[in-house]
């Protein structure tokens, strides 16, 4: 038994599956956050599934299927939430479809309250070009917050090496805005770790990654990035905006 497995076995003892208060969830984070800091991603997900049961979901933007693949290995049937903003590249929707067809996960596609046409009618055409913060609030933050209501904990694929804002992202932390436990199993991974996992496990990758888009969001706000430049520099390029608000 590895040290990580021993740690996981100890942490899993006495866990319940649902019905925790906010104070109990915060206490849980205080208790295990540091212990899981150095654990492998599989162990972190295993802990989350054992601790929260059906009140745990993985989210994926379908840049690749690494997190969904890890969850499918550790706990087949795990909910994987994909937010369809209405502005995705066709390749991103195709990756979502391929994940749903090939991995044993419960893929849930959620959408904003308004279609793009309804938003255009209410706020004017191409809100993303005039007020991307409001557009992200309507099409990303609000629908995800609503979808996560049924969970106590959610997992994201964010990594500390992605942006300055993310360098202190905990592996298991308290998301004060969502009032939920936020699990980042890949927080300590580097881009090289991701590439290695993809190669060794034949993981699905959004084809745009190989076409100059190392970080993929909505098509109006995502540009190609020249080789060697900051992988996230193609997101909201030239606006000063670096995050959609989901992780703020």
User: Where is 135: in which H helix or E strand?
Assistant: helix 132-136
Q: In this structure, which long-range contacts are made by residues 50-55, counting pairs with CB atoms below 8 Å and at least 24 apart in sequence?
A: 50/12, 50/15, 51/12, 51/15, 51/16, 51/17, 51/153, 52/17, 52/18, 52/151, 52/152, 52/153, 52/181, 53/17, 53/18, 54/17, 54/18, 54/79, 55/17, 55/18, 55/150, 55/151, 55/152, 55/153
Catalytic site includes residue 244: yes
Q: At closest approach, how far in Å is the CB of 112 from ligand SF4?
A: 8
Where do the H-state alpha helices sit in 20-126? Answer: 22-36, 41-52, 66-74, 90-102, 116-123
3-state secondary structure of 186: coil
Closer residue to ligand SF4, CB minimum distance, 73 or 241 = 241
Q: Which string of x and - marks every residue 75-114 that binds ligand SF4 (by CB under 6 A)?
A: ----------x-x---------------------------
Q: Which is nearer to ligand SF4, 10 or 130 (CB)?
A: 130
Name which of 30 and 177 has its Cβ closer to ligand SF4: 177
Instruction: Kindly identify the residues of this chain, within the stretch 162-221, that bind ligand SF4 according to CB under 6 A.
Output: 217-218, 220-221
Binding mask of the shown chain, residues 120 to 159, with x at each position contacting ligand SF4 by CB under 6 A: --------x---x--xx--xx-------------------
Closest CB 229 distance from ligand SF4, rounded Å: 19
> At closest approach, how far in Å is the CB of 8 from ligand SF4?
36
Binding region for ligand SF4 (CB under 6 A):
85, 87, 128, 132, 135-136, 139-140, 217-218, 220-221, 244
Catalytic sites, residue numbers: 244
């Amino acid at each position: 038994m590895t040290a990580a497995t021993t740690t996981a076995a100890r942490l899993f003892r006495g866990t319940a599956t649902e019905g925790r208060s906010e104070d109990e969830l915060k206490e849980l984070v205080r208790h295990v956050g540091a212990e899981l800091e150095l654990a492998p991603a599989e162990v972190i997900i295993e802990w989350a599934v054992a601790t929260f049961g059906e009140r745990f979901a993985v989210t994926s933007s379908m840049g690749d299927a690494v997190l969904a693949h890890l969850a499918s290995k550790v706990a087949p049937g795990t909910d994987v939430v994909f937010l369809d903003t209405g502005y995705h590249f066709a390749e991103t929707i195709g990756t979502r479809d391929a994940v749903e067809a090939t991995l044993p996960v419960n893929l849930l596609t959620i959408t904003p309250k308004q279609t793009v046409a309804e938003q255009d009618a209410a706020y004017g055409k191409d809100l993303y070009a005039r007020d991307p913060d409001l557009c992200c609030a309507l099409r990303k933050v609000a629908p995800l917050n609503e979808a996560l209501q049924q969970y106590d904990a959610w997992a994201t694929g964010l990594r500390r090496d992605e942006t300055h804002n993310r360098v202190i992202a905990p592996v298991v932390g308290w998301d004060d805005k969502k009032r939920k436990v936020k699990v980042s199993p890949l927080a300590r991974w580097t881009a090289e770790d991701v590439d290695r996992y993809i190669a060794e496990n034949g993981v699905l990758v959004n084809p745009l990654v190989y076409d100059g888009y190392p970080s993929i969001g909505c098509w109006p706000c995502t540009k190609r990035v020249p080789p060697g430049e900051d992988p996230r520099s193609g997101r909201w390029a030239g606006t000063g905006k670096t995050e959609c608000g989901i992780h703020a």
